[in-house]
Structure 1
């Protein structure tokens, strides 16, 4: 379909105009560039292999090649990052006029080099207060620049929302292809083997089963989780609340046969009292403050 969104995520250092033209010829029509920062010292701290200059060049190459739907990813709350340097990265991104911007707060994951550096006192963990200040400033700045804040971490010019991610947030089915891919089909979430050689061997064995008159056993699937009605309801709220419009309560009632506010009355009591969620026009949604503290709301909604 000419209306299908066919998106590619790429690092700036892997892009040049000839390669990008080839992607367009193959049918790709959306590009997401993992810039992360427009400051070389911050990129080095993140162990990124590209420079700030290369990030800008990659974006310009995408435009020159003919991409009309280009997104930029940035990270905030980096160790030692000051508000001024964050604002400079945002302003540099805006000067490029991307169609979509994704902003992600850095989290310190156990077992990573950053976690070890923090533990050894070589650097400091991101400050939640500083991250909140950066996020709130960016909300206002992107709104002034004409970007629609449609999901906690995502902003788009009108008509440029990311359909791929909206599929997840709306709990629609999706099929993942290739080593390490995840899927959600027929009420089951599942993943296939991550090692390419193993994946190919198992796919071949599954194909041989079919060729010999047997059933396709999907041997490449290594894990799966049936989605119970309780988990489906929680997923619908958690993922739906990420989108600015929130969850349409009438649709929830139609899908699950129950009132979301009554079913999750206990879980939502404190978020309502704290001003993190609100009911507006038949939708349950996060407030502006709730978007900052969304994980606190989501944790309450998860089944035991």
Structure 2
């Protein structure tokens, strides 16, 4: 299958590209603007911006893609509060532009398969415990709202029969693939490593650090996306969580990082925050539909892989 991976040079995108190549797919990576990083060996590269519908149309027309993995997005919940229109422009309108480019060829090509990467934060903070895909989305930031809107666009277009789609909702991704470190400052594990290496003075935890979240290995998410692409059926769409299915407290993440690195982590404790005590993925649908199970999402393994990639 010839697969286009948007955002294919990012932290998740590179892992997905490698996963697709290993499965024997022909992969073309789409990235925006100047290219400072080369794609994995064996992958082709095109440049394009989701906001440029004409360029997207040319990219789609120039090759007969059978599959699309749509990862490109703006992803900061906090950043979206100060730039809400920018987030809707890229994440929602950008997805619309991609679908419009595909639609321009719907009468001359077979239906494509699409995996759209959404996010677990669309569930919001009103739930606690295991989160099922059947729960209503409650976006609490422009970022989350832009992803919900894009999910709906993907589902609506799939319903026409022009493509089959699976929307995946990854939980807290960690680990590393191909030695590429996660540098997202919105995530706790990169910030723990920053504190360990002196780039930050401390890591902030709310209350006693007992809030429980679901951490999943980057490689497991990549394999789930590969399987999701094969599960697409023209005229249908579905949403599938990708998580470990187990919870880990923030305090346990810090303690495990200290064990893995052999270094202390300075923690600054803030007053308890109004937040759900436990948010974990219900991954029963991923089991049933994709026959997928996370194989590398042990916390110690994730942090070991992440730490190896973090070091020079």
State the TM bucket, normalised to the shorter chain.
0.3 to 0.5
TM-score (norm 2): 0.32
- Structure scoring higher RCO (CA < 8 A, sep ≥ 6) equals 2
TM-score (norm 1): 0.33
Which structure has more helix as a fraction of its residues?
A: 1
Greater Rg by CA: 1
